[in-house]
Each structure stands twice: as structure tokens, then as C-alpha cells.
């Protein structure tokens, strides 16, 4: 199976790199600058189990179809990627986005059609270091995927085999939309808390009023998902509440990007959930405050 990974940052670099390491036919679609860096240093992955260096196949343009396309870019880069992906999507191509939030599903479906776009999510604590190398910061490395349709899809077994036994946890789901919502709620809650309060979950819980704040914000995001028809399942709800009650220095990628002065995925993660709350008349004062703060950050950054 020919696999195209759009993006070779922390997410695309990790999962695409592990697939290549496992012998899969993987090509990375990257920008010229990233292509030059990978040609110079290779694709390096540092994880709790050691370091891996690969020589990846990279392209900056696509000239033909692939069997599977994994999209691993930030939400604000999606439009540019869609414009480049047209030739990659053939009659039987499966497109699996690993983006945060839900807005990208309609965008991709509009571009490539519902028969091509599946749901997907990943869970990994990863980043790029100053050299552009992938750093996996914990043992968590999970990829979940599946078609949105309820009927049989004869491509599922092939995709499952292609993504399996590759050095990370991988599974197909017949409830992928619900699982994507659960991740969205998790990211919006952690991201909203850490960016608004400018600290880790543990630091917030150690501050006066911090535990009450975290519980209230959690209640807001769960209420939105429930009103939208995707209440978190008991296991996901327990994990969310335990995470928000933790004394550990847990942060979010959005918080780390904000502290570093980088662009943030505020619209797709927080802003869209605030909009969803409005559609269902769910009051979300704390989440709205986080959205306001992030909007100020984005406007200030763009002005500079």
C-alpha cells in the first residue's frame, strides 16, 4: 500500500517515521525548507525507548495517486495542503486526517468527497526540537481511524493492516466521530485552562480557586458535547476529570505554542466549541474567556 504523509512535524514525522521503519511504502509531502532539513539530518525520532534515524522519501509536489493519505498538519495549514493533495486522491484512496477539532471533516469532504474521507485521531506527546528532530515525550503513541459510514468498506482491512504492527498502538473504530469528539473535548478543556491561566494543570490546581476552575471548565465542555449528541463515554469522562484534577505539570500543545510565540489552533479547538455551545444554547463563560484571551493573542501576534 502506497502511503503519503502530508506533514513531517512532530505528528507526521513520528507516525510516518514509524511506518517507514516498519517497512511500509511511505512518502512525506513537505515544504522545501523541511525537505532540505530532512535531507541534511534525516528523520530523527527520540523516544523513551531510544533514538531512530531514517532517510525518508520526500516530495514537495504530488504527481499521482496513493492508496492512503495521512494528513498531519495544524488546522491553519489545511487549505494549503488540500490544494497540493489533488493528484494524490485516486478512485480508491482513503484520506485520514489527524487534525484536532471537527471543522476539517467538512472541509476535506467538500474537497475530496465523502467516499474518500475517513475519521482519524492520534494521541501523542511530541514536539520538534531546535534541530527539527521529533521528540516523543512519553510512551503514549496511539492512532485511531475508521470510516464515517455505517456500511461495510472493503478498504478497512487493508488500511488496518497497513497501519498495524508499526511500533505504535493502532486500531480501527466504528465509532470514530464519537471518539474524535472525545478528543476535542479533552483538548479544549486542557488547552483552554492552560492558556487562560498561563500554567500547567498541576499549577492551576495548586492555586486558590484552581480546582474549582478546572471542574467548572470541564463541566462546560462536557455539556457542549452532550448537547451536540456526543456525550463522552464513561471511560473518556473519567480520564478527562482525572487529568483536570491532576497535580502533574500537564500542559497542552496549544499552551506550548503560545508560550513559544508560535501560531495556535485556537479557532479549531476552542473557538469552534464556543460556537457549538451557541448553537445549542449552552452557557460557557469560562471557555468563552479562554477564547477571548486566545483571540487577543492571535491578533497581537499577527499585528507584530
Positions marked catalytic:
183
Q: CB-based contacts of 38: which residues, under 8 Å, 6+ apart?
A: 8, 28, 30, 56, 58, 132
Amino acid at each position: 500500500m502506497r502511503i503519503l504523509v502530508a506533514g513531517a512535524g512532530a505528528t507526521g514525522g513520528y507516525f510516518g517515521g514509524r511506518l517507514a521503519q516498519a517497512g511500509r511504502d511511505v512518502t512525506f509531502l513537505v515544504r522545501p525548507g523541511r525537505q532540505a532539513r530532512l535531507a541534511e539530518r534525516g528523520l530523527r525520532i527520540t523516544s523513551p525507548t531510544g533514538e531512530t534515524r531514517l532517510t525518508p522519501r520526500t516530495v514537495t509536489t504530488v504527481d499521482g495517486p496513493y492508496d492512503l493519505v495521512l494528513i498531519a498538519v495544524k488546522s491553519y495549514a489545511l487549505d494549503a495542503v488540500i490544494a497540493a493533495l489533488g493528484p494524490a486522491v485516486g478512485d480508491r484512496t482513503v484520506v485520514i486526517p489527524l487534525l484536532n477539532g471537527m471543522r476539517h471533516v467538512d472541509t476535506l469532504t467538500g474537497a475530496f468527497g465523502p467516499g474518500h474521507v475517513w475519521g482519524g485521531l492520534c494521541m501523542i506527546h511530541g514536539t520538534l526540537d531546535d534541530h527539527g528532530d521529533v521528540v516523543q515525550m512519553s510512551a503514549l503513541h496511539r492512532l485511531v481511524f475508521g470510516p464515517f459510514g455505517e456500511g461495510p468498506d472493503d478498504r478497512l482491512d487493508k488500511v488496518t493492516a497497513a497501519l498495524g504492527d508499526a511500533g505504535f498502538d493502532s486500531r480501527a473504530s466504528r465509532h470514530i466521530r464519537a471518539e474524535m469528539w472525545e478528543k476535542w473535548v479533552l483538548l479544549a478543556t486542557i488547552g483552554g485552562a492552560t492558556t487562560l491561566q498561563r500554567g500547567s494543570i498541576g499549577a492551576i490546581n495548586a492555586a486558590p480557586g484552581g480546582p474549582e476552575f478546572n471542574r467548572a471548565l470541564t463541566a462546560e465542555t462536557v455539556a457542549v458535547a452532550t448537547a451536540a449528541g456526543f456525550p463522552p463515554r464513561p471511560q473518556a469522562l473519567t480520564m478527562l476529570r482525572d487529568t483536570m484534577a491532576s497535580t502533574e505539570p500537564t500542559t497542552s500543545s496549544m499552551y506550548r505554542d503560545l508560550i513559544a510565540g508560535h501560531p495556535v489552533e485556537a479557532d479549531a479547538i476552542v473557538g469552534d466549541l464556543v460556537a457549538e455551545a451557541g448553537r445549542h444554547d449552552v452557557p460557557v463563560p469560562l471557555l468563552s474567556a479562554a477564547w477571548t484571551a486566545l483571540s487577543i493573542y492571535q491578533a497581537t501576534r499577527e499585528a507584530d
